[in-house]
Amino acid sequence: MNIVLCILVSVLTQSSASKPNILFILADDLGFGDVSWNNPEMITPNLERLAGQGVILDQYYTQPKCSPSRAALMTGLYPFRTGMQRGSIGPFRPTGLPTPFPTLPEILRNQGYSTHLVGKWHLGYCNENYLPTRRGFDSFFGEYAQQADHYTREHEVNRHIGTGYDLRRGENVSYENLGLYSTFLWEEETINILDKASTSDPWFLEVSLTAAHPPYQAPDKYIKMYERKNRRKKQKNNRSDQDNIRKAMITAIDDSVGRIIDKLKSTGLDENTLVVFSSDNGSGHSDANGSLRGKKGYVFEGGVRVPAFIQGTPLLHQMLVTPGYSSSALVHIVDWFPTLLRLSGEKLSNLETDGVDIWEPLTTGEISQREILVYNLDLDDQSKTFQFAVRKNNWKLIWGQTKEFKPHKKEKNELFLFNLARDPNETENLAESEPSIVQELKKIVKNLTKETRTAFHPNRFNLGFPKYHEGLLSPGWCGTGWWKILWNSESTSLGRFVQAL
């Protein structure tokens, strides 16, 4: 049977006519317990229905923060290889995804795909060369930076900085649908693209949602759904009010995704479209990550293990052992890079990637080739504080900082070892009782840190403040090429420091 399945994949990758369209939906700060198949308290019927028609990725991982995860998706490389491991690019930081690395949409264009990004970019905007329209996307409608108000598109109201408006069509400021809730704004644009999409030439469309990232805002009708639930449970306090709004944002996503898929079907494009749904990291609310330990920014499971599924295309359904099954294959967000490119016809031998082609493991139940997963590797070049977190099969090592990485000062370094097969919630530290496994995983860390590129995560520049740019978040106030300095003659002092640990 496996021979037949391999032939089906070969036909797909060799025939340009059968290249699948790719609809990649990326939610923001969606925790493991924020979907109804992991938590019956959540109202996500459309997402659950779609997941039930495809494959749920039960062991799916991202980076602990937004920008590193997005960099991993775009480049197929762990962020420690691209200098993006330090954390999110906050507004007015003069940095971005280094331009020497080819991106997923750039390579897809070489395979005849049109490429589109709707929603959040968050990989740098201070220089024009960082912009999504310069990194492989034919069209862009969305926000450059971390997070704006979901109705006004305004960033960070501050009398010293100025209010920064952030919405672009291409590289031009757009005031379209001002006041429309962000999730519905991205939905409307997505549906417009699908209306015009080619039925003969393949396309890649990333819908990068800005929910459920703060500020917590949602239309009243969704908030009332959860208020009713809370009233039945006799729960009412400020914390539950905020939680109601955050959950309402997710149900609004569910409604929106349902309408997008309905449009896909009405156009007939669903016949050759692969749908991928993912979050970029765990939720900042620990409760939203189910029973998993930690939250967004942490290298504990709650920060990095998130909901995901694939759905669509006749080929996927022909290959599935059974629709709606939950795959236990170990998957990282970098794995989409080789997987989607192989489906597009790109030869994997041409790619430099940390990703593993996961098509067969997800669709046929074959054993995945991935046995090692990197949660994060970061070593500060000013203080030598560090954060190393890796997994080999079911063993996970956290060495150094466990929470959101704090550079430039000495932090308490910790050592944890977990067996995730027996203890997925990371309650039992086995570091003292399993010293040989600790040493084995430390050896993996030390080998990988030889390939680590120094992170560039500067403080924000007042040159980028909106008050100096007519109240806008605008590029043109920083240079690129920082990597030529940091990586030109890689310092061996950090490497020696790691080897001595």
Determine the pLDDT at residue 232: 60
**Alpha helices, DSSP H, located in 97-152:** 104-110
Tokens 């189910």: give the residue: 290
Q: Which residues are catalytic?
A: 66, 122
Determine the pLDDT at residue 15: 40
Determine the pLDDT at residue 321: 63
Burial of 452 (0-12, 13-18, 19+ CB in 10 A): buried
| pLDDT, tens only, 168-191 | 999 999 999 999 999 999 999 999
Q: What is the DSSP string of 202-217?
A: -EEEEEE--TTSSS--
Decide: 360 and 327 in contact? Cβ < 8 Å. no
The pTM for the full model equals 0.94
Q: What is the dihedral of CA 3, 8, 14, 18, to 10 degrees?
A: 180
Decide: 222 and 251 in contact? Cβ < 8 Å. yes
Cα–Cα distance measured from residue 64 to residue 454, given in angstroms and rounded to the nearest whole number: 18
Helix or strand run (H / E) with residue 397: strand 395-400
The residue among 50, 61, 456, 66 whose CA lies nearest residue 296 is: 66
Residues of the chain whose pLDDT is less than 70? 1-17, 232-239, 314-315, 317-321, 489-494
- 32: Cβ–Cβ under 8 A, 6 or more apart, which residues? 38, 282, 288, 289, 290, 292, 301, 302, 305, 306, 307
Domains of the chain listed by start with CATH number = 20-371 (3.40.720.10)
Question: In the numeric block, which tokens belong to residue 74?
Answer: 């775009």
Determine the pLDDT at residue 257: 98
Determine the pLDDT at residue 14: 39
Counts of helices then strands in the chain (DSSP H, E): 14, 18
Give the distance from CA 268 to its chain's centroid: 28
DSSP 472: B
| pLDDT, tens only, 229-241 | 777 665 555 567 8
Give the distance from CA 411 to its chain's centroid: 27
Determine the pLDDT at residue 425: 98
The residue among 492, 253, 299, 286 whose CA lies nearest residue 402 is: 299
Decide: 85 and 378 in contact? Cβ < 8 Å. yes
DSSP 126: S
Q: What is the DSSP string of 159-220?
A: TTT--EE--EETTEE--TTTTS-HHHHHHHHHHHHHHH--SSS-EEEEEE--TTSSS----H
